[in-house]
């Protein structure tokens, strides 16, 4: 009985400490007005992997804490009342969902699906530790085995997270994306030219047309995530200052730049960044007049193996 009372006391104290950090810790009361201004925030779509490999950043410590802090619940609650894994994890998810919903309703935090996933992973690790070392008389060897299992499972979570995680790729020339029409940029023997007195020597591509004609370049960007295009553009000093570039996506014109923008100092910073953060199947560049685009490249979110 004394042992059961001790476990009950530890469980109550640890639960109270956890609730404190969920609702009052990290200066939540001081920031309550900010949460009220933002309104009820429900982040129901997971945005991050649970835990990457260790790094010297607060975000990693936060993610690690979101898992590690809930490992004890996977040990303590089964010790209080023997329950199979299905019932334990089912009740845990119901309770953690309720607490996460309560955070925005009290303006003391936000509902975050990432937190629910991390907390549940922690509880699962705790339950495995309980099964290995706490279902019968605890010995030193069982304690070592339980700790080793917890560390191994955390490493597994990190490995899976690294596999699932997507990072911003290095810059790649635009011609690395599949063209859906025959027109391609100039990529070999690219001529140099002068813009605003500066000699421009393109390194890997040149998009252009001449006179009053127009040229269209179309690319298949379906399946690519968080695309950002980087454009260098201008009109050579030796040519009539007239030209326009228009970028189209599935839902119409994304951006349009003509000679008027190029005459206003400070209006455009080179390279010009064009983000395509939403799902897009096709992107089209239409160039008219003497405007030129060179060294156009892009980044995207990719898995480490891609």
Is the model's pTM score more than 0.85? no
In the numeric block, the tokens 């260790």 are attached to 54
Average pLDDT over residues 270-299: 91
Task: Label residue 268 by pLDDT band (50, 70, 90).
Answer: low
Average pLDDT over residues 220-224: 91
Whether the pLDDT of residue 179 is over 70: the answer is: yes
Share the mean pLDDT of the chain. 91
Q: What is d(CA 135, CA 155) in angstroms, rounded to the nearest whole number? A: 24
pLDDT digits (tens, 9 = 90+) for 189-198: 999 999 989 9
Whether the pLDDT of residue 301 is over 60: the answer is: yes
Whether the pLDDT of residue 213 is over 90: the answer is: no
Looking at residue 260, its pLDDT comes to 86
Least reliable range by pLDDT among 13-22, 107-116, 229-238, 250-259: 250-259
Task: Label residue 172 by pLDDT band (50, 70, 90).
Answer: very high
Looking at residue 264, its pLDDT comes to 67
Nearest to 220 by CA among 172, 299, 280, 170: 280
pLDDT digits (tens, 9 = 90+) for 47-74: 889 999 998 889 999 999 999 999 999 9
Looking at residue 75, its pLDDT comes to 96
- % pLDDT > 70, the chain: 97
Whether the pLDDT of residue 266 is over 60: the answer is: no
Third-level CATH fold of 172-302: Jelly Rolls (2.60.120)
SS (H, E, C) the chain: CHHHHHHHHHHHHHHHHHHHHHHCCCCCCCCHHHHHHHCCCEECCCCCCCCCCCCCCHHHHHHHHHHHCCHHHHHHHHHHCCCCHHHHHHHHHHHHHHHHHHHHHCCCCCEEHHHHHHHHHHHHHHHHHHHHHCCCCCCHHHHHHHHHHHHHHHHHHHHHHHHHCCEECCCEEHHHCCECCCCCCECCCCCCEEECCEEECCCCCEEECCCCCEEEEEEECCCCEEEEEEEEEECCCCCCCCEEEEEEECCEEEEEEEHHHHCCCCCCCCCEEEEECCCCCEEEEEEEECCEEEEEEEEEEECCCC
More confident residue, 269 or 73: 73
Q: What is d(CA 142, CA 33) in angstroms, rounded to the nearest whole number? A: 48
Q: What is d(CA 290, CA 212) in angstroms, rounded to the nearest whole number? A: 8
Query: Domain limits of the chain?
Result: 2-165, 172-302
Task: Label residue 40 by pLDDT band (50, 70, 90).
Answer: confident
Whether the pLDDT of residue 267 is over 60: the answer is: no
Q: What is d(CA 77, CA 73) in angstroms, rounded to the nearest whole number? A: 6
Q: What is d(CA 294, CA 306) in angstroms, rounded to the nearest whole number? A: 26
Looking at residue 36, its pLDDT comes to 86
């Amino acid at each position: 009985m004394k042992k059961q009372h001790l476990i009950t006391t530890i469980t109550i104290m640890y639960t109270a400490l956890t609730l404190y950090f969920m609702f009052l810790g990290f200066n939540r009361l001081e920031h309550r007005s900010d949460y009220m201004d933002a309104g009820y925030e429900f982040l129901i779509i997971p945005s991050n992997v649970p835990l990457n490999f260790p790094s010297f950043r607060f975000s990693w410590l936060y993610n690690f804490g979101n898992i590690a802090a809930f490992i004890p619940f996977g040990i303590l609650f089964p010790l209080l009342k023997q329950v199979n894994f299905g019932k334990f994890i089912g009740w845990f998810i119901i309770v953690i969902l309720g607490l996460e919903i309560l955070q925005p309703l009290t303006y003391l935090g936000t509902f975050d699906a990432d937190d629910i996933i991390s907390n549940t992973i922690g509880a699962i690790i705790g339950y495995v530790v309980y099964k290995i070392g706490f279902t019968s008389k605890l010995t030193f060897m069982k304690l070592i085995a339980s700790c080793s299992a917890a560390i191994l499972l955390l490493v597994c979570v990190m490995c899976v997270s690294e596999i699932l995680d997507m990072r911003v790729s290095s810059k790649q020339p635009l011609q690395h994306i599949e063209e859906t029409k025959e027109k391609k940029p100039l990529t070999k023997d690219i001529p140099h030219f002068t813009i605003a007195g500066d000699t421009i020597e393109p390194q890997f591509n040149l998009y252009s047309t001449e006179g009053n004609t127009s040229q269209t370049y179309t690319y298949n960007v379906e399946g690519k995530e968080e695309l950002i295009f980087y454009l260098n553009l201008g009109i050579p000093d030796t040519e009539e200052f007239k030209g326009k570039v228009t970028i189209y996506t599935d839902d119409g014109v994304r951006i349009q730049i003509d000679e008027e923008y190029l005459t206003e100092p400070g209006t455009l910073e080179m390279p010009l960044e064009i983000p395509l953060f939403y799902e897009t199947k096709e992107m089209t560049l239409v160039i008219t007049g003497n405007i030129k685009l060179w060294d156009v490249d892009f980044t995207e979110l990719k898995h480490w193996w891609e």
